[in-house]
Structure 1
Amino acid sequence: MSETAATTPAAAPAPAPAAPPPEPYDLRQGLLFASVSLLLGITQGLGVNLVNSNLTGIQGSLGATAAEASWLTTAYFATNISASLLLTKVRYQYGLRWFADIAIGVFLLLSLAHLFTQHLASAVIVRAALGLAAAPISSLTVLYMAQAFPPARALTGFMLGFATLQIGMPLSRIISGDLLQNGQWHGLHFVDAGLALVSVAAINVVRLRPMPTQPMFARGDGLAFTLYASALALFCVVLTQGRLHWWTDTPWIGLCLAAAIVLLGLYVMLELQRDKPLVDLRWLASPFMLRFIGATLLFRIVLSEQTVGAVGLMNQLGFTNDQMHLLFMCVTAGTIAGFLAVLPVLPSRKFGRLGTVALVLIMAAAWMDGQSTVLTRPHDLILSQTLLAAASAMFLASAMLEGFLHVIAGGLKNLISFIAVFSGGQALASLIGQAWLTTLLAERQRLHYAHLADGLQLADPLVVQRLAQLGGAYAASLNDGTARAGQALALLGQQLTQQSWVLAYDDLFHLIAAVSALGFLVFAGTHTHRWHRARQAAPASLVPSSS
């Protein structure tokens, strides 16, 4: 090689093209995205809660018993819980716009199909299909709200997207009374169909920005998902029907539980041998995810106090949704306030403290509700239920954000698994909490009724006086003394039953307060242990190295 050639520098590589500058944030477009997200969130929330919150009013128009009408709830959750996993993969595989158009179109068709259901069997089939179609609406709600904010504030958008999904529950109880009076079962679904129709127009006018697609499905996914979905569906059947038909009195409940366990075991065995599983079970068994799942289960159980406890107590005392409008409006305000309370914590990302605060609020709310009597009215529960709604929102937001940041730190490779656990786990944990608490209520009511009945003796002067007072109410309409005495005994039995239910609900509230206190001690102990460990490790990091 010549000297000239040796000293000639090598040709420098061509510089990489500069990345295009990000588009400036458009406030008007952001408001449009936020409006569509709010519309989709209310559509999805009302779609599930208008029926679940009004089963008593619906069963009459369908000619069904309470146990038969409960299959409407069972059918919805049996398909909805597992659908999140499948439809998230579909979204990544085929693209966001195609996914949005198909999802909202199917939701509209099924909402219209509700208007033609006249019998329980057809209504259950449509509810099962709607549970599958409603799952993508949740994803679209969050994605629209995320794109309503600048990229640097996307995390705020994700949180507020989840917030809009929570408004449907209290709102459904506020508007459902008039809908049932005007159109019975079909009156509820006129609103669903109308909102779905408006949503179709909205997503076509305000289009989501496209996202890159990637292959998501692998060989064996069909069998794995069949086992996964079947197991979860059977668990839903057990949890929703077991407490109505009673766990030990109905053989098919045990058969469903056994089949669910077998199918879940087969699914786990299959997934552990696959290179690309539907859900990364090994990641779910990591310490962080085990703590996350345990905290989710704890919170969803104690938060069932609102639907099972407070609402159930008011229904037992004879109050309907029409008489609790103010209560549910305050619950809506508490839910919004709880999500807004998370915003100041976003920069520091110390979401664990929010969980501790939420437990304190739940403990206080349950203790206040534990003082209920037969004279308790909906306005007496406003403060406690507003606190409980705020605690629910704070937990949901903090859990979602903490889990999502953990997934981001791992490179987003477990995003699908996290979505499946977070969305499906929330619903399944709620069903577990409701099943446990309603079973506890039934047992405590039976014990309290037996205890109260044992203390009543017809020879007791106080009992005789009470029967005379109750019989006096029929003096103007019944001349027969024996008939008046029979009516008095019937009224006393009704009052005895009502009192036993109130005492059972008080036991439930006290239990939730105790569980919340125990959870608070565990959380506080964990945070204290981490603080001490970090404090002990800090001086060691300041010691100079021997080199």
Structure 2
Amino acid sequence: MSGTASEPARAAATDAPMPPAPTPAPATAAPPAEPYDLRAGLAFMAISVLLGITQGLGVNLVNSNLSGIQGALGATPTEISWLTSAYYATNISATLLLTKVRYQYGLRWFADIAIGIYLLLAVAHLFTQNLGSAVLVRAALGLAAAPISSLTVLYMMQAFPPAKTVVGVLLGFAALQIGAPMSRVISEDLLQIGQWRGLNVVDAALAMLCFAAINVARLRPMPTQKMFAKGDSIVFGLYACALALFSVVLTQGRLHWWTDTPWLGVCLAGGVLCLGLYVAIELQRDKPLLDLHWLVSPFMLRFMAATLLFRVVLSEQTVGAVGLMNTLGFTNDQMHLLFTCATLGTLAGFVAAMAALPSRRFDVLGDIALVLIMVAAWMDGDATVLTRPHDLYLSQTLLAAASAMFLASALLQGFGHVIAGGMKNLVSFIAVFSGGQALAGLIGQAWLATLVVDRQRLHYGQLVEHLQLSDPQVAQRLAQLGGAYASSLNDNSARATQALTLLGQQVTQQSYVMAYNDLFHTVALVSTLGFFVFAGVKTHRWHRARRATTGVADAAAQPSSP
């Protein structure tokens, strides 16, 4: 930025006439580059990690512990899920608005206000007494948390010399991934200490540390520019409403069931209407919020399709592996090593991405990520009721590495495309990249969770159909289950009832395990199909480029007409 600002001065010095002199004047030496300050770099890096952990825990401490929170707020499982809906309803669209605010009003002002508001809302969370107030604060927190992701990446970028900025970008996004597995490791102790408020105390404490840190080590200022135009408030309102309604449908649909709840259809129709009005108005504006023409370019369509595919299959980690373990009776505190392996896998994935920087073959990272997802899903697809967390260590490590490699691949390819286009579509890319990742993740979780419910019903019906009391094996199993109560129940009919209850629970558990196996196999199949589709697209583009090169060479080799 300092180099950019000095370009006019250099041009003026170059164009000015030389003073008369018997000998040529020596060339003016370029100003020396500002030396890299290692201490400041380490401080920026530490603050970036702190911001990333704050953002990750702010999202996941609640979302990963809804069952532990519902008792403190007196809510049912369906009601407590509105905490997740409220957060994403405001968070997904906030990135676009706050990116424009940052460019127009400056980075330092933006950092102070953003972290200050987040701190106030985190403290307000401590005083929520019921579900209604918690949902309102959660929605506000989703809006306030959006800038923390940007600040995490910006601090990590400024921790490195300008020549290593891309390394800072990758490490900044790596810092944002730490909070998700960490939230499951520390949440059990926090719930035991302070229940619902135990989680909120950590949010508030981290927000205070972040507010102090950004004032101790200030980001270097960035040039401002006018970003807002007349009519932005109307189109952004339509854009935000559409994404909010889609978020509500995706998070609530599988709980209330898609076809059984009329208001879900109303929300979906409202979201489609708002999105249609937004597109219709946006296409007529000279200065749109998002460049929709650029978003439907071939590269961006491929980019968004790849993002959707990856986020759907990567939902196997949260919906599949964690869901299976919860079904088998394991809680977060019994899966600490599993989440630790996932964290190590994530870091390994980003290290592999940095190793690929010199070759600039970023598309290969995406291919490797798909292969890792295929392998991990097939490994998980033979689960039984005896499967334990240690059986998933390797597969979930591979899946976490694949997630990091895909994120790095998409980020590097996307930013490369934006830079090649002159940076004019940077805001559009940031909004699509961040909002698209979150929305695609919700789509993946909704689809896979629905798949599990459907397949569990099917498998349960098939298992029950083959259970006949006249079957000797069934009778023997009931006798074994009833024998467990022989010392406590003398009534034969009571023991038989308990045995039937236990058998029903085992059948239900078995049907869920079979449903999760179907989920793993589906993810593996979708990943395989995606791999071949992308390979086919790349092969087609390679052949087309080769034919074009050959045609140019043949035309150059032909003799010119006289």
TM-score (norm 2): 0.94
- Equivalent-residue separation in structure 2 for 1:179 and 1:140 (angstroms): 27
- Indicate which of 297, 302, 306 corresponds to 1:286: 297
- Equivalent-residue separation in structure 2 for 1:188 and 1:239 (angstroms): 25
Residue in structure 1 matched with residue 122 of structure 2 by the alignment:
111
- Equivalent-residue separation in structure 1 for 2:455 and 2:155 (angstroms): 46
- Indicate which of 271, 278, 286 corresponds to 1:260: 271
Matched ranges for 1:350-389 at <5 A = 350-389=361-400
Shift of 1:29: 1.2
Shift of 1:538: 4.0
- Equivalent-residue separation in structure 2 for 1:91 and 1:54 (angstroms): 33
- Equivalent-residue separation in structure 1 for 2:552 and 2:262 (angstroms): 62
1:27 aligns with 2:56: no
Letter in 2 for 1:39: L
- Equivalent-residue separation in structure 2 for 1:527 and 1:150 (angstroms): 35
What is the DSSP-based 3-state SS (H/G/I as helix, E as strand, rest coil) of the residue aligned with 1:97?
helix
1:336 aligns with 2:347: yes
Bigger shift: residues 340-349 or 353-362: 340-349
- Equivalent-residue separation in structure 2 for 1:407 and 1:123 (angstroms): 39
Q: Which deviations, in whole Å up to 9, do the C-alpha atoms of 1:301-325 show, x marking residues without a partner?
A: 0000000000000000000000000
1:150 aligns with 2:161: yes
Shift of 1:30: 1.0
Letter in 2 for 1:130: L
Letter in 2 for 1:275: D
- Indicate which of 352, 358, 361 corresponds to 1:347: 358
1:474 aligns with 2:485: yes
* Structure 2 unmatched runs, 5+: 1-14, 19-26
Shift of 1:522: 1.0
Aligned residues: 536
What is the DSSP-based 3-state SS (H/G/I as helix, E as strand, rest coil) of the residue aligned with 2:359?
coil
- Equivalent-residue separation in structure 2 for 1:520 and 1:17 (angstroms): 55
Residue in structure 1 matched with residue 210 of structure 2 by the alignment:
199
Q: Which deviations, in whole Å up to 9, do the C-alpha atoms of 1:153-188 show, x marking residues without a partner?
A: 111111111111011100100111100110111001
Letter in 2 for 1:85: L
Residue in structure 2 matched with residue 4 of structure 1 by the alignment:
none
Residue in structure 2 matched with residue 432 of structure 1 by the alignment:
443
- Indicate which of 136, 150, 154 corresponds to 1:139: 150
- Indicate which of 172, 178, 187 corresponds to 1:176: 187
- Indicate which of 113, 119, 122 corresponds to 1:102: 113
Residue in structure 1 matched with residue 243 of structure 2 by the alignment:
232
- Equivalent-residue separation in structure 2 for 1:266 and 1:536 (angstroms): 43
- Equivalent-residue separation in structure 1 for 2:238 and 2:33 (angstroms): 44
Matched ranges for 1:69-84 at <5 A = 69-84=80-95
Residue in structure 2 matched with residue 5 of structure 1 by the alignment:
none
Matched ranges for 1:7-46 at <5 A = 13-14=16-17, 20-46=31-57
- Equivalent-residue separation in structure 2 for 1:272 and 1:525 (angstroms): 33
Shift of 1:541: 4.5
Matched ranges for 1:413-452 at <5 A = 413-452=424-463
- Equivalent-residue separation in structure 2 for 1:13 and 1:33 (angstroms): 41
Residue in structure 1 matched with residue 325 of structure 2 by the alignment:
314
Residue in structure 2 matched with residue 406 of structure 1 by the alignment:
417
Matched ranges for 1:297-312 at <5 A = 297-312=308-323
- Equivalent-residue separation in structure 2 for 1:197 and 1:50 (angstroms): 17
Bigger shift: residues 520-529 or 282-291: 520-529
1:162 aligns with 2:201: no
1:505 aligns with 2:516: yes
1:463 aligns with 2:498: no
Shift of 1:528: 2.3
Identity of aligned residues (%): 75
- Equivalent-residue separation in structure 1 for 2:238 and 2:536 (angstroms): 39
Q: Which deviations, in whole Å up to 9, do the C-alpha atoms of 1:23-71 show, x marking residues without a partner?
A: 1111221111111100000000000000000001011111111100100
- Equivalent-residue separation in structure 2 for 1:93 and 1:465 (angstroms): 75
Residue in structure 2 matched with residue 533 of structure 1 by the alignment:
544
What is the DSSP-based 3-state SS (H/G/I as helix, E as strand, rest coil) of the residue aligned with 1:22?
coil
Shift of 1:17: 8.7
Shift of 1:540: 4.3
Residue in structure 2 matched with residue 90 of structure 1 by the alignment:
101
Residue in structure 1 matched with residue 10 of structure 2 by the alignment:
none
Residue in structure 2 matched with residue 488 of structure 1 by the alignment:
499
- Equivalent-residue separation in structure 2 for 1:22 and 1:85 (angstroms): 34
Residue in structure 2 matched with residue 56 of structure 1 by the alignment:
67
- Equivalent-residue separation in structure 1 for 2:432 and 2:29 (angstroms): 39
- Equivalent-residue separation in structure 1 for 2:552 and 2:29 (angstroms): 40
- Equivalent-residue separation in structure 2 for 1:255 and 1:542 (angstroms): 59
Shift of 1:539: 4.2
- Equivalent-residue separation in structure 1 for 2:32 and 2:540 (angstroms): 46
- Indicate which of 408, 411, 423 corresponds to 1:397: 408
- Equivalent-residue separation in structure 2 for 1:20 and 1:298 (angstroms): 48
Q: Which deviations, in whole Å up to 9, do the C-alpha atoms of 1:437-483 show, x marking residues without a partner?
A: 11111110000000000000011111110000000011111110000
Flag the 1:428–1:321 CA change in 2: closer, same or farther, 3 A: same
- Equivalent-residue separation in structure 2 for 1:18 and 1:73 (angstroms): 58
Shift of 1:344: 1.7
Residue in structure 2 matched with residue 125 of structure 1 by the alignment:
136
Flag the 1:205–1:262 CA change in 2: closer, same or farther, 3 A: same
Flag the 1:350–1:116 CA change in 2: closer, same or farther, 3 A: same
What is the DSSP-based 3-state SS (H/G/I as helix, E as strand, rest coil) of the residue aligned with 2:539?
helix
- Equivalent-residue separation in structure 1 for 2:409 and 2:32 (angstroms): 32
RMSD over aligned Cα atoms: 1.3
Letter in 1 for 2:247: C
